[in-house]
Amino acid sequence: MRLQQGVSLRTAARQSGTDIRQLRLQEQETTDLRISDLRKWQRVLDVPLSELIIEPEGTLSPPVMERARMVRLMKTAAALMERAPSPAVHRMATMLINQLLEIMPELAEVSPWHNYGQRRSLDEFGIAVERSLPDHVFESTNWD
């Protein structure tokens, strides 16, 4: 459901206050989640709790799908405003954002699409930290 809504794992971790590795484990179909974890996912995805408990039939419910579309639209408008090549385009993007906020005020916290990869705060690590290398990689006899 997170991917269908276009919510990155990093965003979900930041909004839920949960470690990315823990979220990956929680997303596995075989994981039994605590009620408190379900509540965190409910807040992150902004969906009714029933959406998380009842097995989906392949697609999101209409209200959740509509919200996901609005979030993607807002991300696009925010990216357009951030990278506007001219004042006229910037003005148009600002107008679009204001209109989207009239329809759905909670979109105010949606950030633009990233230029390159995903932005991290200074206290976040990239995926390279989560991957471990076998010890034999560091055991070389020819360092000369």
pLDDT digits (tens, 9 = 90+) for 16-27: 898 889 888 888
> What average pLDDT does this structure show over 82-102?
93
The pLDDT assigned to 142 comes to 60
Residue among 75, 100, 72 nearest 4 (CA): 72
The b-or-e profile of 105-123 (16+ CB within 10 A means b, else e) is eebeebebeeeeeeeeeee
Count of the separate structural domains present in the chain: 2
The whole domain housing 78 covers 61-115
CA dist 41 and 18 (Å) reads 10
Same domain, 12 and 53: yes
Query: What percentage of the chain exceeds 90 in pLDDT?
Result: 15
- Is residue 136 assigned to a domain? no
Same domain, 65 and 89: yes
> What average pLDDT does this structure show over 98-118?
83
Higher pLDDT residue, 13 or 58?
Answer: 13
> What average pLDDT does this structure show over 28-52?
83
pLDDT tens digits, one per residue of 4-18: 777 888 888 888 898
> What average pLDDT does this structure show over 98-104?
93
What is the number of other CB atoms lying within 10 angstroms of the CB of residue 93? 20
Q: What angle do CA 14, 122, 90 make, to 5 degrees?
A: 75
Question: 97 near 136, Cβ under 8 Å?
Answer: no
Residue among 16, 71, 8 nearest 41 (CA): 16
Question: 50 near 61, Cβ under 8 Å?
Answer: no
The pLDDT assigned to 58 comes to 59
Q: Is 66 left (phi over 0), alpha (psi -120 to 50) or beta?
A: alpha
- Which residue do the tokens 């951030």 mark? 82
Q: 116 pLDDT band (50/70/90 cuts)?
A: low
CA dist 35 and 20 (Å) reads 19
Same domain, 46 and 70: no
Same domain, 48 and 13: yes
0.85 surpassed by pTM: no
Q: How many helices (H) and strands (E) does the chain have?
A: 8, 0
Same domain, 100 and 48: no
